[in-house]
Amino acid sequence: MSTVRIEPLLHHYRRQKPSHRLPPSKHPLKLSSSFTAFPKKLVVSNGRSFCNFQPPTLSVRAASTDTATVEATEFADAFYKETFPLKRTEVVEGKMIVKLDNGKDAKNWVLTVGCNLPGKWVLHWGVNYVDDVGSEWDQPPSEMRPAGSVSIKDYAIETPLKESLSPVGGDTSHEVKIDVTPNSAIAAINFVLKDEETGAWYQHRGRDFKVPFVGYLQDDDNVVGATRALGAWSGTLGKLSNVFVKAETSNSKDQESSSESRDPQQKTMRLEGFYEELPIAKEIAVNHSATVSVRKCPETTKNLLYLETDLPDHAVVHWGVCRDDAKRWEIPAAPHPPETVVFKDKALRTRLQQREDGNGCSGLFTLEEGLAGFLFVFKLNETMWLNCVGNDFYIPLLSSNNSIAVQNEVQSEDAQVPDRSRETNFTAYTDGIINEIRNLVSDISSEKSQRKRSKEAQETILQEIEKLAAEAYSIFRTTVPTLPEEIIAETEKVKVAPAKICSGTGTGFEILCQGFNWESSKSGRWYEELKSKAAELSSLGFTVIWFPPPTDSVSPQGYMPRDLYNMNSRYGNMDELKETVKTFHDAGLKVLGDAVLNHRCAEYQNQNGVWNIFGGRLNWDERAVVADDPHFQGRGNKSSGDSFHAAPNIDHSQDFVRKDIREWLCWLRDDIGYDGWRLDFVRGFWGGYVKDYMDASEPYFAVGEYWDSLSYTYGEMDHNQDAHRQRIVDWINATNGTCGAFDVTTKGILHAALERCEYWRLSDEKGKPPGVLGWWPSRAVTFIENHDTGSTQGHWRFPNKKEMQGYAYILTHPGTPTVFYDHIFSHYQSEIAALISLRNRNKLNCRSRVKITKAERDVYAAIIDEKVAIKIGPGHYEPASGPQNWNKSLEGRDYKVWEAS
């Protein structure tokens, strides 16, 4: 068996060659959690790079004796005592079962997939039809789909596993049953198992599971039940053709080289049932804590730091000290605790001693005077480290009169402040932030610094300033008392500085229009048609337009790119594209290019007849394809994300690939005139590579399509979708915030709320918006429909006749709203235009503040920035009078919007 292991996104940006997957191992198959990077506090980092990060600040005093051992009771009067939560992982082993047997009707069969480990399991599956040479994955017919199944694009569905009535091995288990009809001409069912709680995927020997129903598929090494159940359906298929594993990359050459038919006289075999058990291991989180106490020895004036934890007694503390704010690790002077060794002349490693009561372990550290701080991380084994939100633990030791405070890492300028289990001195906390900002400003503004520092280094400092300022403001928002009306009026006179442009947010006031649909490629002159709409879209208030994929492509819509430098597509030629971009620029709109970076279609076959040799200016070979793509025999490294089954998945860990993509994006920006990017299928590769591409191409605005299924229980959407939005936030965090993401969570929750009249879903457990816009609004790009979900595809169409409720929500709330082309050029145009005008008039933006005032069965209401009130749903709501009066501005079917006078 082999392992597919998904590692935390948080630490990948510290590696030279990041990868989400480890090499295959033989026993058993493991699932590794997606470690939470936001908004939770601590993570486990499986890497060894942990120094030189911006650490949390602990302002402390120290005191006590200079002895080698100490009891915790001696620190009862310590000036400082702080307890930190820790989290590690532990492997739990179980079984996965796959079986095929007769259903209630002896003519039909039932495929059962089950698992006896705890979790929220989902089967991601599709079918392979006989004689289908295009792809191994297609959506199954509707009669095969169990209740609660959800479509994923146009090639797969996801079905939640339900609690089993016949547990595996006596344990509680979950399973899903799929009915298989003999005359359906299905050659095989392909699937992977997914744990929704962690986002981890389980495959078979590094490939998708395959349950074949025809004999010629039995040679695949990822087949389940190969020795007993592989044959043809007796008397149902007749003549069978070869099934070729290749994608839509195939062109006319495919047909010439495509295969011989199977022998018409091929002997059919009777299908037999089978039952297989496969070992499966899942890493679960185990909570621990560590307590740090500090005293100062009155006799020697040295600092004495006592560390105790309930971690296992083999835990090692990797530690050092620093002498200034640069926080560079160095080895302190002796004495050192027992069982301490030097690590590469940069740090010390101390094995903690088991406590006398047997509960955990502890260590005493004697530190000389004049040190700025104490830095440490825990090491449990060669691959597992515990740190503080991706940073080293850091305790300043410069002063003995500072108040106790903790500064946690801020991952975004508008991220919510994590809940704290202790009372915090906010005055000291914000004073510390202000001092750090002053130091950074002084540093970057000095002439000497400007001469020495590169532009990139100065930009990094500016980003740190922005983060610190946002953290201080976030604390202010949570602690400021209600002010009298006259003070509020006075503060409104203060001028707000212009928003800083960032590739993840633009200015914050963007309103995006998707400038095409699924059928736009059919005319052959879409650029010309779109150009004629530029003035109208500008007058409606849009600021950014998203263009379709511009390159030569196997598929007419452009999402199967071939020669990346060939701009002759089904939408028009290169000259027409340039002229259309210029027209939109003249109309005052920015233009986003649709960049497909995850996969690319080959133009030639290798010596084995597999399509993985690329043509054109970027003439890559098999080294550019990931090694674990089961269909295209890549010779690169393992994939850093999910597989796109229809085309070769590109290996972004290759230096030459990243260099070529950076140059291509810069060429698109400079020669074509694009201002930013919409990135397709970003689940397929690590977000850290996106940061590399964004840093190189410096887009005005960028958004990624991180498409993931929401959480369902027995076919009903769960109220809590934190795991879903966490995965999107993790990806944004991996890009270092340089790219936003489409808020798929918000779209899905709007579907359930409006379709089922369950508007209570639009408030999470903390009274915040339940989508990405509730956690990281400046990086949330909201939408209700696009070319995949709507248009003629209709894979996940918004509830009928409720579209304007959806637009009333996203065009008044934070995040960057997106309007679909089909809706703006429809009978909805006047209503959408009125909402855009209201948004611009009140200067609502991606960081606007939401106060939810009502979230009940039939009505949702909120006030945004104290300027706009909105309600959607058939229920009644009127904003209460207060410091401002409310005037109704807009009203439509089941929605109303008010503006403050």
* Mean pLDDT of the 775-800 span: 94
Distance from C-alpha of 292 to C-alpha of 15, rounded to nearest angstrom: 30
Most confident range (mean pLDDT) of 40-54, 106-120, 165-179, 673-687 is 673-687
Show the tokens assigned to 629: 């793509």
Q: Do the strands 544-546 and 512-514 form a parallel or antiparallel pair, or are they unpaired?
A: parallel
Question: What span, in angstroms and rounded, lies between the C-alpha atoms of 363 and 351?
Answer: 8
Could you confirm whether 680 is annotated as catalytic? yes
What is residue 138's DSSP assignment?
B
Is 80 exceeded by the pLDDT of residue 355? yes
Query: What pLDDT is attached to residue 45?
Result: 34
User: Residue 253: pLDDT above 80?
Assistant: no
Question: Is 0.75 surpassed by the pTM of this model?
Answer: no
Clarify whether 196 is annotated catalytic.
no
pLDDT at 37 over 50: no
* Higher-confidence position of 325 and 741: 741
Whether residue 844 contacts residue 865, with contact meaning beta carbons closer than 8 Å, is answered with yes
pLDDT at 583: 97
- What's the pLDDT score for residue 623? 94
* Chain mean pLDDT for the chain: 78
What are the extents of the domains in the chain? 90-221+271-280, 297-396
pLDDT at 196: 78
Kindly state the tokens that stand for 357.
Answer: 């009561």
- Give yes or no for a contact between 338 and 68, defined as CB atoms under 8 angstroms apart: yes
Q: Is 287 helix (H, G, I), strand (E, B) or coil?
A: strand
248 pLDDT band, cuts 50/70/90, is: very low
Cα 839 to chain centroid distance, Å, stands at 28
Architecture of domain 90-221+271-280: Sandwich (2.60)
Is the pLDDT at 854 greater than 70? The verdict is yes
Does residue 675 carry a pLDDT above 90?
A: yes
Cα-flanking dihedrals φ and ψ of residue 550, to 5°?
Answer: -95, -10
pLDDT at 233 over 50: no
Instruction: Give 595's strand partners.
Output: 679
Residue among 5, 4, 150, 13 nearest 731 (CA): 13
Average pLDDT over residues 664-676: 97
To 5 degrees, how large is the angle CA 428–CA 846–CA 441?
Answer: 40
pLDDT at 236: 28
Name the pLDDT band for 670 (thresholds 50, 70, 90).
very high
Q: 136, 138, 563, 680: which one is catalytic? A: 680
Q: Is the predicted pLDDT of residue 1 greater than 60, yes or no?
A: no
What confidence score (pLDDT) does residue 94 get?
A: 87
Q: What is the predicted pLDDT for the residue at 284?
A: 79
Work out the pLDDT band at 372, boundaries 50, 70, 90.
Answer: confident
Q: Quote the tokens at residue 507.
A: 């200015």
Lowest mean pLDDT among 108-117, 545-554, 555-564, 809-818: 108-117
Identify whether the C-beta of residue 74 lies closer than 8 Å to the C-beta of residue 304. Answer: no
Structure confidence by residue, pLDDT tens digits, 146-183: 988 988 877 788 999 998 876 655 566 899 999 887 66
Of 136, 552, 705, 722, which is the active-site residue? 705
- Range picked from 629-643, 704-718, 821-835 for highest mean pLDDT: 821-835
pLDDT for 308 equals 92
